[in-house]
Amino acid sequence: MSIKHTILTFSSSLLCAWAISAQAQSADSVRWIGEKENAAVWANIRADFLDELRPDDPVKVAPVLAYSYKYIYRIALYQDLALVIVAHLESEGSKYPGYYSVFNYDLKSHTRRAIKGVEVISVFKFVDFVRLDAVAPPDIFFTWLTCTECEASKVLSAFHYDADKREWSLRTWDADKNIWWTSESGPVIWSDVSASDTISFDCVHGFLGTAPERAFGIRCRAVTESEEGKRSITDITGQYTFRGPSSRLEIVNGEKKTRLLSELCEASPKNKLCKSAAVRASNK
């Protein structure tokens, strides 16, 4: 066998191995699937979700608002398990945002289970797939509002895949009872302060480090004013680290806080808190 033939054979073997590895990685990754490219999967899920998609009977649900238009909003696929998001609207074309419900759905057994904690959420918005574990698929990060037509807060949450139970669940976040913007569903990253004694609430946040040792950093600054006109400022910086389905919150100060904020502001230089920090630094 010639050297040239040996090199070509070795190169072909490497290319083949890479292709097989890429296919396996693609098949084992979580991704959103469109209806046009995955018509059969969408059709099967829509058929198995007839109960969830059936319009509300106004008489049966009264005095609760009836939702007459429901549809499959998005589907995320991981192996043979789908995460299915169902949208509920008062009527087709309604300007009222309605709400969303999220389910686990097994493509093989055709079984579905509502995911606890996200049976009714408002204004669902996908953020990103973020890998937090070397062996698990990426978490599905998203934001949602605590209510609509009220003083809402926007919460950052995530779906975490449980390999033992073979299902998606809502990630649990460490919460501090003395820090109002923390919750078990995730940190508040924005809040409507129009009808409260809070004058402003600003946050800068983002993911830190590289996979699979990623953390989430957040700094929130709230300014409140009492009826007597006395102002109070709360400025807290925290870092969440992740292990399995849980998260641990650490309040950081000193040099660690400086490094964390530097990394956050490098990614979000136009953030109000980063601009203020830059101005103070330039005046020193």
Is 223:232 a contact under the CB 8 Å cutoff? yes
Q: Which residue has the higher pLDDT, 23 or 170?
A: 170
List the alpha helices (DSSP H) in the chain. Answer: 3-27, 39-48, 50-53, 58-61, 254-267, 272-282
Residue 94: closest CA among 67, 64, 72: 67
- Please report, for the chain, the start and end positions of each structural domain, with discontinuous segments joined by +: 29-120, 123-284
d(CA 118, CA 143): 12
Distances (CA, A) of 46 to 32, 93, 138, 169, 218: 16, 20, 25, 22, 39
What is the reported pTM? 0.86
**Gap between the Cα atoms of 70 and 122, Å rounded:** 14
Q: Is 283's pLDDT higher than 90?
A: no
Confidence of residue 226 (pLDDT cuts 50, 70, 90): confident
Cα gap 236→203, rounded to integer Å: 10
Q: What is the mean pLDDT of the chain?
A: 88
How far apart (Å, rounded) are the C-alpha atoms in residues 105 and 82? 5
CB count in 10 Å sphere of residue 23: 10
> What is the rounded distance in angstroms from the CA atom of residue 117 to the CA atom of residue 181?
18
- How many residues comprise the chain? 284
172-185 pLDDT, tens digit per residue, is: 999 999 999 999 99
| Token digits of residue 103 | 């389910």
Place of tokens 């709360």: 234
Instruction: Check whether 153 has a pLDDT greater than 70.
Output: yes
Beta strands at 246-251 and 198-208: parallel, antiparallel or unpaired: unpaired
Least confident of 24-28, 82-86, 145-149, 154-158: 24-28
pLDDT computed for residue 274 by the predictor: 94
Q: CB burial class (10 A; 0-12, 13-18, 19+) of residue 131?
A: middle
DSSP states of 216-279 as a string? Answer: EEEEEEEEEE-TT--EEEEEEEEEEEEETTEEEEEE--HHHHHHHHHHHHHH-TTSHHHHHHHH
Per-residue pLDDT of 50-64, as tens digits, reads 999 999 999 999 999
Query: Is a pLDDT exceeding 50 seen at residue 9?
Result: no
- How far apart CA 132 and CA 213 sit, in angstroms, is 6
Percent of the chain with pLDDT over 90: 75
